[in-house]
Structure 1
């Protein structure tokens, strides 16, 4: 896990995205690449529906796109320079950064381009203005085939020292645990939790612990109470109480439609986490 993609867009959480991403980069001694992003073109615009019915489409103006791309590049490069991170051609391999040249890319491109990286770093999504956008996170989760690190609103003081794995026995969570192994290998403490009456049929926490132990990882297991039946709330509460600075969880074991209608652990965690979350689908 040496290649890290950091999609850039000016919003209120961008400093947390950069700082959390840099913590990941330092932990992995990796290459961090920034790229400027923008929302997908509205389908109604592409179908020649009147502009007034679409809302703000300023991002379609070529000059606006150029300015936004340049602003994102300056922000990324200024941050990296201030943190003493070199470009890849100025020193030995290890922690370094680069920038993807070219115009703004839409959310869908994040998912496609992310396939060439080990992990993508994004901010906690929200429907509020001037926040990271849910479609960017969904594109990365569903299209890249790679894990996504969600940065919380406030960057953590430490990263990856105490890792909590929310184990629901699903294929998605099993894949996420496998993808997280480079970070698990560096953790001081790993806690695998499950919840009462939550998850799908599959291996128990003890069986997962056995496999992780075989990889040289000391693991604790806990069953967390879930009195209100809200798995996302229970997971975040347990993570906070355990001093977690990285939560590992599979994304969207239930369909997005079902989560939209009935709610779900993934949706709640994406909207409310205050710790970094590593997810994959």
Structure 2
């Protein structure tokens, strides 16, 4: 069956001080695979957020000075990120477009990219754009200590309704050629499976990963194989085991043994708070994965 790649046409990439090269390269690899547009975005804080400090005993002049310093720092940061973006687009011959213009026909396979600057919270500035993106690519969590990047990652995952792609720590050479799909029967795993179909249809090899330590109530792995087959994807089934009682470590080891360059899984089947406190598969993969990861919930 011929693969159809129309599912992925707009790739959002929030840009930060760290992880820019890997995130942009990951987005470019997907864009080449699907003929998609890259929508790069920088979110800046609102300098007026420091105004409440006037109630903490600071004079109006001091608050105004802090607002000006915040704006200057943000301008400097944006200029640095824009310079990296421009160098990247020129190197890879990406056609520039105005943000949100999207004046492309379905038959237009030329690669294009846009750069936009927005002001506001991660939720308002990035998540709302992510809701009209077919995927959003963010840096690996351990790539940067930027708290804003981590906050945005979770905001996209929980409130965009669209799949999240976490770029690997190092700049990847390929993406989606050897794909592992983690399955545990949950609604989150189902959402990730559906989001992965376009990639799976173009992959050279696909493996579904299951584990008695990972599975919850829901369809078994054999049914996933049958479902993929209906979509023209031929996959095999592999059962992995936890490593030192860590399901996440066992999953990543199984993906590594398959020589996968991409892993797909449902995120936060348990609550995020529970995983932050006692650990969990999602948290382990976010922190330890050395390959491209698709997450959905």
Does TM, scored on the shorter chain, surpass 0.5?
yes
Aligned counterparts of 1:111 and 1:233: Cα–Cα separation in 2: 30
Unaligned runs of 5+ in 2: 1-7, 59-65
Pairing 1:258-277 to 2, within 5 Å after superposition: 258-277=274-293
2:201 matches 1:192: no
Following superposition, the deviation at residue 114 of structure 1 comes to 0.7
State the 1:133 CA deviation: 3.0
Residue of structure 2 in register with 1:21 after alignment: 27
Residue in structure 2 matching 1:106, options 109, 118, 121: 121
TM-score (norm 1): 0.88
Aligned match of 1:233: 249
Paired residue secondary structure (1:217): coil
Q: Are residue 66 (structure 1) and residue 66 (structure 2) matched?
A: no
2:175 aligned with 1:159: yes
Q: Is the 8 A contact 2:241 2:247 kept in 1?
A: no
TM-score, with length taken from structure 2 = 0.84
2:195: which partner in 1? 179
CA contact (8 A) 1:17 1:151 kept: yes
Runs ≥4 in structure 1, deviation > 6 angstroms? Answer: 39-43, 57-60, 89-92
The residue number in structure 2 matching 1:80 is: 89
Match of 2:220 in 1: 204
- Residue in 1 aligned with 2:37? 31
Of 11, 21, 37, the residue aligned with 1:4 is 11
- Give the whole-Å Cα distance in 1 for the aligned partners of 2:166 and 2:67: 27
Question: Kindly tell me: are residues 198 and 237 of structure 1, through their superposed partners in 2, closer, same or farther at Cα, counting changes over 3 Å?
Answer: same
| Greater helix proportion | 2
Structure 1: 5+ residue stretches without partners: none
Deviation of residue 147 (structure 1)?
0.5
Across the two proteins, how many residue pairs are aligned to each other? 274
Q: 2:131 matched to 1:115? A: yes
Residue 203 of structure 1: how far off its partner (Å): 0.5
Q: 1:88 to 1:50 in 2, by over 3 A?
A: same
- Kindly provide the CA deviation profile for residues 112-170 of structure 1, in whole angstroms up to 9, marking residues without a partner as x: 22101111000111496358832111011111111011011112222101100010111
1:4 partner SS: strand
The answer to whether the Cα contact below 8 Å between 1:111 and 1:142 also exists between their aligned partners in 2 is no
Please tell me the root mean square deviation across aligned C-alpha atoms, in Å.
2.8
Describe the shift of the 1:238–1:51 C-alpha distance in structure 2 as closer, same or farther (beyond 3 A): farther
**Alignment pair present for 1:93 and 2:108:** yes
| Distance verdict in 2 for CA 1:119–1:59, change over 3 Å | farther
The higher radius of gyration belongs to 2
- Find the aligned partners of 1:227 and 1:257 in 2 and give their Cα distance: 23
Q: For residue 96 of structure 2, give the secondary structure of its aligned residue in structure 1.
A: coil
